[in-house]
Amino acid sequence: MRHKPIRRHCDFGCTFRWIRGESHIVVKRGYVCEGKSVVVAKTARTFAVADRPGEDPHDDRRTWVATIPVNPAHWSDGRRFVGAVNAWVEQNRNLVDLEDRAGRR
């Protein structure tokens, strides 16, 4: 089976992942990179890296926090992707860490 391309945006202590052709962005806790099978979680002043062996981004529903509905035709537009994420964050502040801006100040 051939996998479809994936876009990711890491911010607010979460990874927002959009697989081309899908009508939703998946929200996952921590900074996730399935290609490397790790999760980076900020704890106090350090970062913990936890191995996630065998995690498949096409079959990982059990690790989702939420989904954000989107138009799949806009997959290639990064501004729309980040805009959808930011709009969702504004409505779901209790599900994210507003202080964790993925290295931005």
Is a pLDDT exceeding 80 seen at residue 38? Answer: no
Rounded Cα gap, residues 95 and 50, in angstroms? 21
pLDDT at 61: 80
What percent of the chain is modeled with pLDDT above 90? 42
Quote the pTM value. Answer: 0.76
**Of 12, 63, 65, which is closest to residue 42 (Cα–Cα)?**
12
Average of per-residue pLDDT across 44-62: 60
Q: Which helix (H) or strand (E) element contains residue 80? A: helix 78-91
pLDDT at 29: 85
3-state secondary structure (DSSP) of residue 83? helix
Is a pLDDT exceeding 60 seen at residue 43? Answer: no
R_g of the chain, CA atoms, integer Å = 14
**Of 49, 52, 70, 66, which is closest to residue 12 (Cα–Cα)?**
66
Dmax of the chain from CA atoms?
41
Handedness of CA 65, 46, 44, 105 (dihedral sign): negative
Q: What residues does each domain of the chain span? A: 6-95
